[in-house]
Structure 1
Amino acid sequence: MSIKPIAIAAPQPTTQRGQASHLSYDPVNNRLAYVNGKSVIIKPVDFNSNSPVIVFSKHIHPTTAVKFSPSGFYIASGDESGQIKIWDASPKKGEEIFETPVIKSEFQIMSGPIKSIAWDADNSRIIAVGQGKEKFGHAFSWDSGNSIGDIQGHSSTINAVDIKPQRPYRAATVGDDFAMVFFQGPPFKFEKSLRGNHSNVVRDVKFSPNGDYIVSVGSDRAICLYQGKSGEFIKKMEKTHEGGIFAVAWTPDSNYFITASADGTLKKWSIDNESAETTYRISDKPSIDSQQVGLAKTKDYIISLSSNGDLNYFKDDGVLVQVVKGNQAPITKLLLVDNELYSGSSDGKLFKYEVDKTGTKSLPKLQGTKEEEHSNYVVDILSDKSAIYTIGWDDELKRWKDGKVINSVKLPSQPKQLTKINSSIVVLFESEIQLYDETLALLSECNFNFNSTSVAALSTSKLLVTNVSTNTIVEFDISNNKISQSSNEFPKLRSPPTLIKVSPNGEYIAVADSTGKYTLYKSDGSVVTTRWAFHTAKVYDAQWTKDSKYLLSGGLDTGLYVYSVEKPSKVLKFPLAHSAAVTSLAWIDFDGENKIGEFISSGLDGTIRTWKITN
């Protein structure tokens, strides 16, 4: 048996309120790149495509900027520390997509966040700008890092940079000091600073594809047009949107450009006309979530980024054809019910995806519909008949049906886990258990004098709870919705227990401790084996196969392990399955006789990955 990765569902772009978030488009391979946490995501523009997603996770600090080279073979990405990494972004095939892209070079550019990056048309020179202490920008060669000019002329943070696509090269930068600065090069040197045209922070600047024009946009809702070869000011259009403008992009013919605004709209402008040709609306009611903070003009679509992480696909005529949604933050919990996958994340958001079982690729596209949210970390998700139950760090238990909250209850403290016994919903707290019926009416509760981390139903009348105070498992009896502690005792573990998983046939109990080691018990408390000891850190989740012969496990060490009951000393493993901890697991299918199957994993890297087990 072996584990093979077959698909990645990428997280959405990371956004910060009130900040622009630049998208990068690769016209050669029709791909989109954006930042998410400490990662850079590359995925096909076509939201129906099964082409692989590439995840680059070699930045130590959160990523802030990304830019394809004109050839599409390389990407330059920057982070909060001011470091730039240039790496191989060429399209990969098969299992290669799970290999970490090769870093070609890396440089410490400045002492603060990189805000924007630009390549020249030769794929050899880069200008990176941002928020530094000694300087706000740097021009350098991509391979050696040698300086090729000085980026001067600004008195505060530079928000965007662009390089003229043809020789002779020119560069333009805009920043918080309300200025647009024009450079000649290479080597790039200051030529002029144009002030007084913008009356507030300037957010973005772009040369037209033919190099004839430069357009700048900012928080003052103004659009300024300049000569591309000389940087001379041409004209200014004021009050173009009802909110500040975050981004601008040109059409390939250089006759039009598109702006993205905090008023929730995009507008298409002609260089000859001071009124918008087309208006693209996200919703009829502008909100903070609908602020448009990023923009890319692709071959088939105009793609905008909302401040809530949604990617909006427009046709040129203004029709919104697709909104791609998904988790932005680390994913904390998964639940698969039939062909519907529910995911919860650390920011409290819940999404539902369709899982495609008609081939080897599951989750080929992110077409989830946004559910109502918790206001904080999603702790657990549970299904019961036609309803879904969730708990979060907002101390609420919610009941969902058809994508809507039917009812919810306020919990007495922070919940640890959900499970069900008979038709009752069990909520575990640190030193308490509560029992609810299907409508969330409280049936009973039981306090105990120890701390706990996990609960599992052993039968229709027995619950198992971890006792981290004495490194044991405690059994509780459930009778007529009353909870009482049993006298049965389990052998003591080596370290505090953190997770309990009972096999589907009720015969085995797998208990993981704080070091990642398992103790496998029989249902009567006798020890079967302690050889399941391949994890090197805490286990976050584990799932039994339906035949109760194998246990799939993942945790803080980022590895995936499949343990066998019949052969405890043998393990199927895939180390570094995610770039951060594996948080949750779900089986799609498993054929015990042929030892083949598929499962899904999620991680703190925000990705959902699909895996295949082959014999």
Structure 2
Amino acid sequence: MNHDLTVHPLTDENLLPLISSNSKTLSKMDLIISEYRKWHPSNHNVYRGHTEAAWGCTITTDCQFAFSGSCDKTIRIWDVQTRVEIGKLEGHTDAINSLALYNNDKYLISASWDTSIKIWDWKLRTEVKTLGNHISAIYSMSITEDEKYLITGDANGGVKIWDLELGNLYKELSCEGSTVFGVCITNDKSAIITGDFSGNVREFDFHSGDSLSVTTGAGNIQCLTVTKNKKYIVFGTRTNIITVWNYDDKKEYYIFKSHTHWVRNVLLTNDDKYIISCSPDKSIRVFNIDKKKEELKINGSEGFVNTIQLSKNQEYLLSCASDNTMRIWKIGFPNRISKLIGHTGAVICMALTHNEEFLVTGSEDTSIRIWNLKKKQEVGILYGHSGTVNSLVLTSNSKIIISCSNDKKIIVWDFDTMLISYEWSEHNMEIHCVAISPNDKTIVAGDQDMKIIIYDLQSKNVIKILTGHTDTVFSLVFTNDSKSFISTSADGTLRIWNMDKIGEHERIEANSGMIDTISLSPNEKYLIAGDRNNKIYLWDWEEKRLIKTFHIHSDFVRCLRFSNNGAYFISASNDKSVRIWNLFEERQELTLHGHKFSVRCCLLTLNMKYAISGDYNNEIFISGDYNNEIFIWDLEKVNTLELADVRDSIESYLFLARTKMKTPIIQNCYKGVLSHLRINLAHIYAYLGYDKQLYEVLKLGTEIILDLDNNSPLHYALERRSQDCIDAILKYMTELSISNLEKFLNYAHALENEFHFLLENSSDQLEDFLDCIFYKVQDVTNFAIPKFTLPKLIYSSHCRIKPEDFVIESQEITADSKESPIEFRALPFPIYYIKGSSGSITLLESICNCPNQRILRTNFVKTFIRNKWDSLWYLILALTLIFWTNLALMIVLILYTQENYDHSIIISLSVAFLSINGFLWSYEMVQAFITGVNYFYDIWNIIDLGRISLCVTWVILRLTKTDDYNEFQIITWFMVLLNFFRGLTCFRAFDMTRYYTRLIIKATFDSISFLTIFFYSTLAFGVMYYATIFDGYTKFTIWKIPYELNMGNFNNTDNFTLEYMTFIIASIINVIIILNLLISILGDSFEAFQSEAEHIDCLEMAEFCKELETLMFWKRKYNEKRYMQRCQDVQLKDKKNWEGRLNAVFYMIQEIREDFNSRFMESKEIKMKILSKLEALDKRI
């Protein structure tokens, strides 16, 4: 597929500004996206100065100076940063088409069509030497990696090997007269490969010069190279194709056919994954060899692109073109891997000193080496073992090193003197592991003889030999208190050994393969184990229960280590990878690429600044591998737009380019994290508002994770008010809960911080998401005897269900006990649960204020609110009884006057009435004080204040025996109205009546518009009737008579009078038509209410709970989170109000129909306009 950089650029027109102009600071994400918006893959620097086409280029190792050769016969020297020409080399008499540096960049080599090769001291601007002997133009040149030999090919078929140290011809080869456009040497200097214009690919022995093979039919070869691992030969031809051959059999592997002109040059990245090519079609292209596809196309120049060159660190790509320019593209970032080289055998084990100043490593070469980490230098070698050093540990003060080996010995070393202090030779077979107690008193070692031997470090005595394992003991780890240790073996068991009793305490069947490695978290809550089935097992070590199995490594897991804070752990594998894992989110955090052989050991520094690994290449990355190398990975110095995973540098460039163009990302970059903030594609697309791309990359494997600011992609979507992105994330999560529940639960952890914000969102996907988030737990018992009446909800400190919290344990079950089918549901993350805490109130407010009221039907919300309601029930009941007591006292005081009842009783009742209202007034004032101005925005609060004020005024007036009867009567009337109205709402305290309370209120509000018309018509008939009769009636007749007419109270006469006509019209309109309309309106209101009854019922409870919790101000700071877990009977069917749901569906269909009709009419109008324009155009033609 052709992904041209000139198409589909990203635009930000649809974005809302995150921070206003008066904002004080920008977040880390804002700064990253700001840089991202400025970045473009086509950004590059142009170097102008040549007067004819540029053909050759190169750059110094430090990337400070670049060189270009041209048809103008000059070599120009450039300052890369300033783009200023700082020098010119002249001497060639024809075009210069190849350049190379050697001898630590001291000398520059140039090859020309004038048949000469010149060596320059470019700093002095002088020619050092000219290498002749070619009889025709030189078209190709290559230099060995050690910079000792130069190979050149000419137009007459000659290939010459030059000894650069001696400055003379070393060997001469022949390609039988065909122009050699491509020449290269294998990385191991075993063979030279050439490609010529006649289509021949030849292989020569480098040392003897003998021809090893000739393969014909390759086409007119224009350029050629070979992978470092000698797996492929890559060449470009004048037929516009790039061909990849298998090196061994010279058979075609794949052909890339993207270019539309000759392929002038091909390069390979250091990891041999990508081909970079250029062509006179003015493009530079990147191809993925393994994926067999084009990854990227760059419009490389205004003229033909003649050649390209990569800097040694692969940060820069240089190109020369026929427009007389050289261009430099920034395609990579500084290397973040350091290597410690010294071991001559595989690096097997390693340990850091307590201050992290030194690293100690053990190897297959039988030596132990000490390295200064700051200086990256070897400072000492310890010889004493005669076999592979399999394991080593340091005392807590780093003064003593203890090592074990295949030579069956344990050696104690003095760190300062680097001398042997003591040796034990108690083992009969190879010793594979050693551990030291945190108190530095005891050493334990496990061997191939299935034994564990305990040594006293102070007395040097053997304390005891432990048996029990049935195969090789591979790993040992002590607990923090030094009272026990854990061992693991090829027998697939984990065993806990007690140091007080010096014996086996517990045996755990791991149900895994041969366990090679284990590590215990610093707080001893978790244990991780890696086996030869390529899996990592995460255990809850407090409960001795397997939590999760990771199966991402593709070969044996050889080493596991926790970070100092226990939040991360690192793994090393035979699959050549080192991976860093996030413990709490239970996911992979980073992948560190670079090892070429199996990785045997690894660790993390205390501050997570470095990861270290060792391999079988004798090098150390603070990981060790089978290439005897130790790698030190810098996890901190990540550039703003660089992939945090350590990869080939061009992959960051390709990653960014594809996000810019909205084209498919490289497959292994879907899970890549970017920058020091460790954001991924989901964060970027959520921030930018690209919902379609966001949903696509999530489906393809991009993870929903937290960045280092603890923000998920959902956070940025909510903060940026990108509703489409919110919908995309929720839709994906809902689908994921069905297809992959385990992954869904992992991703859900990342949404914890945004959960209460999400509950306030209007997303159509929110209802389905909330139904999924309170998930059914799969890996627990399905039949049991509950301890409580079900359903039972608890808030647990454990993230996973503990069945013993809900059901009777199996050992307690008697023979006559009957088990019942049960199921468990839980939230994957903790929530605030303490009544009255600010977190709990925030959750309740979010639920009450959510625009999408359908969330009130979801399992989670109903369970959460019902639990709150039940826990507050006695308080709710108390308040209800107080309200009704107040109502009862009001009735008694109205019915019984002082004339017919004892005055003292009246006084007592009045005092009680005043006291209750005083309490209710205090209740309202506390609410007003806590909630502030918002209190007065609630109509019910205003009614309560008015009601209480009237009650107090009425009692005072009654006791003072006011003479203004009319005023007293009005106050009494309104007091009664408001008290009975408020008393009606008290029925919401009961499940059986809550529904009807809200129905009455809803019906009243739904009828307001109708009642307005009813009052209007009633007034009209009153005026009409009054107009027919003037005598015997007052102005109140206008209001009184119409209601009498409605009720049929009319004195008929024998004459057909206007009064009779008024009565008939009023009866027809008010009684028959309008009242029937009222019945219809109330019927519709009831049907609509039925569809909403479930969530209205829940909303009533939620609002009441929020009101009560708001009063618990003394609990505001108790913001503890716990996991919501519920045990219930198996739900056989959904008990929902089907009539209401059918009505809801009916209304939805009606809305869709109306929307369809409106859209159809719009499209019809557009069609007519188009047809009319076509007719007009036809007439013109």
**TM-score interval w.r.t. the shorter chain?**
0.3 to 0.5
Which structure exhibits the higher relative contact order, with contacts defined as CA atoms closer than 8 Å and separated by 6 or more residues?
1
| Larger strand fraction of residues | 1
Q: Provide the TM-score with structure 1 as the length reference.
A: 0.47
Larger CA Rg, structure 1 vs 2:
2
